[in-house]
């Protein structure tokens, strides 16, 4: 979209899955004069994504891979100050980094799993938003510049057994997103919620500590969404004219009707 020309888009969790696809989708949508700041913990994967993007769309997209663990408040605090000047003014923030650990029920959930899910999905997202907002607000004179796109989940709308903490983190994202939209209304900053259903990424692999057969079983008999499907939705929302806010979305694959209602082909 021409609407992204000259803009800077920052994506958290861009080393894999939805974040990675979103980076490609922005680049394809605006191959001339776009800046992408890609962050995650795995810097080598980010560098790989950056080089693949430039190979596909050319050098009109400038990609900056930056190692950042959103669960570390001090890293997030120092992050913007350390960006090169030409990448400092972020126009679109995609708060995508997130994870789930395990399927334990509440009495058995390990304390460190609780901590890492909240620190990443909730506090990390809030801290990133606080880090980026000041420069958005400084440039903004109520004319609709600046988008904050938060990746929630069906899990934030519909808590399920074995997901109490993850679901609570995504409900927190949903609640924070809605408050933020109200708080920023006079600034015309668009606050956008993207809530995917089942998407096949590294999500389940992370959930099951790298156990591929357990991860694959999640998608048995189903045709999950691809990360590109969600990336297209994110870039569509960001690409609307400034007076249009795709405030709230819920995206399912065809076989899914609720968090745990999947029609499986045997
Ligand atoms: P992936 O596991 O494929 O990607 C997750 C991304 O988050 C990775 O790039 C990972 O990078 C990054 N990440 C994790 N922890 C941190 C951290 N502490 N700091 C920085 N980056 C981090 O999963 P998805 O693409 O599926 O997940 C993306 C988002 O989508 C998450 O918020 C997830 O909750 C949400 N979601 C996923 C659904 C699904 O079914 N897959 C459905 C609904 C929502 P690295 O490891 O390099 O740090
Ligand atoms: C990921 C989708 O419902 O499997 O957010 O937890 S779910």
Cα-based distances in Å from 90 to 72, 142, 166, 174:
20, 16, 28, 22
Who lines ligand 1 at CB under 6 A?
12-19, 40-42, 45, 68-71, 96-99, 120, 151, 153, 196, 198-199, 201-203, 206, 227
What is the per-residue pLDDT across 77-110, written as a single tens digit (0 to 9) for each? Answer: 999 999 999 999 999 999 999 999 999 999 999 9
What is the per-residue pLDDT across 40-49, written as a single tens digit (0 to 9) for each? Answer: 999 999 999 9
Q: Which of 194, 197, 196 is nearest to 247 (CA)?
A: 194
Range of 208's domain?
A: 2-262
Q: How many whole angstroms separate alpha carbon 36 and alpha carbon 92?
A: 10
Q: How many whole angstroms separate alpha carbon 10 and alpha carbon 96?
A: 10
Reported ipTM: 0.98
* The model's pTM: 0.98
Q: How many whole angstroms separate alpha carbon 59 and alpha carbon 130?
A: 31
CATH, residue 122: 3.40.50.720
Structurally, the chain folds into a number of domains equal to 1
What is the per-residue pLDDT across 201-220, written as a single tens digit (0 to 9) for each? Answer: 999 999 999 999 999 999 99
pLDDT at 143: 66
């Amino acid at each position: 979209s021409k609407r992204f020309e000259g803009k800077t888009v920052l994506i958290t969790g861009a080393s894999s899955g939805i974040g990675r696809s979103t980076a490609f989708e922005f680049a394809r949508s605006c191959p001339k004069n776009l800046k992408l700041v890609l962050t995650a913990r795995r810097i080598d994967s980010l560098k790989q994504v950056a080089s693949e993007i430039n190979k596909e769309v050319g050098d009109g997209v400038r990609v900056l891979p930056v190692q950042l663990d959103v669960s570390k408040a001090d890293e997030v605090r120092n992050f913007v100050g350390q960006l090169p000047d030409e990448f400092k003014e972020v126009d679109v923030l995609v708060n995508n980094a997130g994870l789930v650990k395990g399927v334990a029920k509440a009495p058995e959930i390990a304390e460190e799993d609780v901590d890492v899910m909240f620190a990443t999905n909730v506090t990390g997202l809030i801290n990133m938003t606080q880090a980026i907002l000041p420069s958005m607000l400084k440039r903004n004179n109520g004319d609709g510049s600046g988008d904050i796109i938060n990746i929630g989940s069906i899990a934030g709308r519909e808590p399920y057994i074995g997901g109490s903490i993850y679901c609570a983190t995504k409900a927190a994202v949903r609640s924070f997103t809605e408050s933020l939209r109200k708080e920023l209304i006079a600034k015309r900053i668009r606050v956008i919620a993207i809530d995917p259903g089942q998407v096949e990424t590294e999500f389940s692999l992370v959930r099951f500590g790298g156990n591929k057969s357990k991860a694959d079983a999640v998608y048995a008999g189903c045709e999950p969404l691809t990360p590109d499907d969600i990336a297209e939705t994110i870039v569509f929302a960001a690409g609307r004219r400034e007076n249009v806010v795709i405030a709230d979305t819920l995206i399912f694959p065809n076989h899914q009707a609720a968090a745990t209602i999947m029609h499986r082909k045997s």
